[in-house]
Amino acid sequence: MNIQKFLKKKIKKICIKLGLPENFNPIIQKNIKKKNIDYQINGIIKLKKKKSNYHYKLAKKISYYMNKSKIYKKISISKPGFINITLDSNWICTNINNMFIAKNFNISFKKPKKIIIDYSSPNIAKEMHVGHLRSTILGDTTARILKFLGHNVIKQNHIGDWGIQFGMLITQLKLESKISFKNIEKIYKKSYLNYKKNPIFFKKTKKNVVKLQKKDKKCIYIWKKIVKKSIKKNNKVYKKLNVSLKKKDIRGESFYNFMLPGIISDLKKKKIAVNYQGCVIVYLKNFKNRLGKKMGVVIQKKDGAFLYTTTDIACLKYRCKTLKADRIIYYIDNRQKQHLLQIWNIAKKAKYFTKKILLEHHSFGMILHKNKKPFKTRNGDTIKLIKLLNKGVTKAKEKIKKKNRKIKKKELKKIAHNIGIGAIKYFDLSKKRKLDYIFDWDKMLSLEGNTAPYIQYAYIRIKSIIKKNTTIFQNDKYKINIFTSFERQLIFSIFQFEEIIHILEKKGTPHLMCNYLYDLSGKFSKFYENCSILNAKEKHIKISRIKLSILTSKIIKKCLYFLGIKTVSKM
């Protein structure tokens, strides 16, 4: 239950009744400082002062109407105009029991929307590297949460399967004595060097790009082979990472090729694009070049080749006009901000989307080495994502072996995989999305602090309590009740689950879910240390506490699922 939202709605009704403006925000915050106060209303003091003691008197008026409701145990006012709320324990227990028996934790669902999430989107012909980690797991977390909330989620893996790199690869493969697709990345590196240093190779590459766009048979054959092989490799990474992207979610750059001539024609017709020195350019007022003049964005080259910008405009048009999206979320790093804004600007001018459609850039920072430079190998090469994941599993395996030498190989393999992959993902997702962070094996694999192993261990401990009482908790005669302040604190932490879910629905900030998991696990530890569960003398207390443990374990498991992290049976 989202208590803050519930209270806000009730209090706003009272405020409007008292003549306050409809846009007034009461601002309800959870009280952490005082144990006997649950929430505090502190938005009143932000109102413009009219008379002496205005805020205090207004708080008294609001509290008068609040006291008519049975959901409050106590309401007090403190100067200059704060309202302190202590909720009624019976009301709290009714709601926590409703949450316990409900299918989806009694969470309120809004009207479903069609939401497109653009994430991962690696370039074909190159192995996925560490730079693809953030987009992939951030986007996947958002996709899981939005789907849980009943939205129609369309995942889009906008792979780079078109453009200049294929012109390079096709040119290089045509030069080889025998066309082989075994080591595409090696061929790519070779072609890149030739493209940079060899003028003849450069010209042939440009011609092959145009040929590919015009569906030349040989070019298309080579292209298809490269794409198929690369997708197969990427899918292995997705499987290991436990992300929900599948083959059906792929809609690469090549898909929009049929739309590109029409986009050029339409933009010229609408006088958005103009011919300039053989190219087609869109000039944008909102973007300035180095001379301070309107920036020109090229959408077609002299040789007739289209650019990424053209493809991305077509992509946006398709998502809005054909897929009928209500909201489009892009998980692209901070460096692509200008590119994305230019696409939106051009598409807006062309009326390819309406104001009702929400376009969001959920940008993210970089993964850094301990020296605060981009995370790379000692040689300065990009780190292959599959190698990073394998290293995480190996490190987890070593840690488990030290603690449990008798563990069986098959069991070790599964547990080490879930801990190693979980540690990498959680460490990333626990960081603020927009900021860079330093990659640290020791911190992410630690059993202490806000880490996946700590949360996974907390889950194991709760499950061990439940397993010892497999029959008793099924008794519906006794419900969850509050006997101590530790139970009350744990229940309020459980209630925050819905608040966090809805924040992530809007903002796509999974670090808040990681913080929530850490807080919830900590609250359960205090409850476990101070409240007798297994040895509770009275049956109704024992059942209440076991049920509270069950609900906590379910929420931890669900949160880990949203993050794409699996639980483990032992560590």
Phi/psi at 333 (5° precision)? -65, 165
Report pLDDT for 382. Answer: 86
- Give the whole-angstrom CA distance, residue 199 versus residue 118: 36
Report pLDDT for 470. Answer: 65
Percent of the chain topping pLDDT 70: 98
- Domain assignment present for residue 78? The answer is yes
- Residue 384 gets which letter from DSSP? B
Report pLDDT for 471. Answer: 60
- Give the whole-angstrom CA distance, residue 423 versus residue 343: 36
- Domain assignment present for residue 135? The answer is no
Among 180-184, 280-284, 337-341, 454-458, the range scoring the smallest mean pLDDT is 180-184
- In this prediction, residues 316-343 reach a mean pLDDT of 96
Among 46-50, 190-194, 393-397, 550-554, the range scoring the smallest mean pLDDT is 46-50
- Domain assignment present for residue 14? The answer is yes
Question: Contact, 307 vs 290, CB < 8 A?
Answer: no
Q: Nearest CA to 491 among 101, 35, 99?
A: 99
| CB neighbour class for 220 (10 Å; exposed up to 12, middle 13-18, buried from 19) | middle
> pLDDT tens digits, residue range 16-64?
898 888 888 888 888 767 778 899 988 888 887 767 788 889 999 999 9
Query: Last residue of a domain, which of 214, 249, 284?
Result: 249
> What is the H or E stretch that residue 297 is in?
strand 294-300
C-alpha separations of 318 from 59, 344, 513 in Å = 52, 13, 33
- Domain assignment present for residue 79? The answer is yes
Neighbouring C-beta atoms of residue 271, cutoff 10 Å:
8
Instruction: Outline where DSSP puts E strands in 100-140.
Output: 114-118
Which distant-in-sequence residues (6+ apart) come within 8 Å of 430 by Cβ?
450, 451, 510, 511, 514, 515
- Give the whole-angstrom CA distance, residue 243 versus residue 48: 50
Domain at 10, CATH number = 3.30.1360.70
- Domain assignment present for residue 192? The answer is yes
Report pLDDT for 473. Answer: 52
User: What tokens were used for 372?
Assistant: 């605060």
Residue 109 has pLDDT above 90, yes or no: no
- In this prediction, residues 279-302 reach a mean pLDDT of 90
User: What tokens were used for 325?
Assistant: 């999206």
Regarding pTM above 0.95, the answer is no
- Domain assignment present for residue 434? The answer is no
User: What tokens were used for 436?
Assistant: 């860079």
| CB neighbour class for 208 (10 Å; exposed up to 12, middle 13-18, buried from 19) | buried
In the block, residue with structure tokens 């008519």: 68
Query: Last residue of a domain, which of 249, 267, 299?
Result: 249
> What is the H or E stretch that residue 388 is in?
helix 385-403
- What does DSSP say about strands 358-361 and 327-330: parallel, antiparallel, or unpaired? parallel
What is the chain's length?
Answer: 571
User: What tokens were used for 167?
Assistant: 């012109």
Report pLDDT for 475. Answer: 59
**Diameter of the chain by CA atoms?**
91
Report pLDDT for 288. Answer: 85
User: What tokens were used for 546?
Assistant: 């076991």
Positive or negative torsion for Cα 27, 28, 29, 33: positive
Residue 276 pairs with which residues in a beta bridge? 279
> pLDDT tens digits, residue range 439-495?
999 999 999 999 999 999 999 999 999 888 766 555 578 899 999 999 999 999 999
Residue 231 has pLDDT above 70, yes or no: yes
Report pLDDT for 213. Answer: 83
* Number of independent structural domains in the chain: 2
Q: Which bin fits 14, alpha (ψ -120 to 50), beta or left (φ > 0)?
A: alpha
Domain residues for the domain of 227 are 164-249
User: What tokens were used for 437?
Assistant: 């962070």
Residue 269 has pLDDT above 60, yes or no: yes
- In this prediction, residues 269-298 reach a mean pLDDT of 92
- Give the whole-angstrom CA distance, residue 331 versus residue 313: 17
Question: Contact, 297 vs 281, CB < 8 A?
Answer: yes
- Residue 176 gets which letter from DSSP? S
> pLDDT tens digits, residue range 124-135?
888 999 999 999
- Domain assignment present for residue 9? The answer is yes
Q: Nearest CA to 497 among 557, 448, 539?
A: 557
> pLDDT tens digits, residue range 165-213?
999 999 999 888 677 777 888 899 999 999 999 999 999 999 998 898 8
Question: Contact, 560 vs 567, CB < 8 A?
Answer: yes
- Mean pLDDT, the chain, rounded, equals 92
Residue 331 has pLDDT above 60, yes or no: yes
- Domain assignment present for residue 126? The answer is no
- Give the whole-angstrom CA distance, residue 58 versus residue 276: 65
- Give the whole-angstrom CA distance, residue 546 versus residue 544: 6
Query: Last residue of a domain, which of 184, 218, 249?
Result: 249
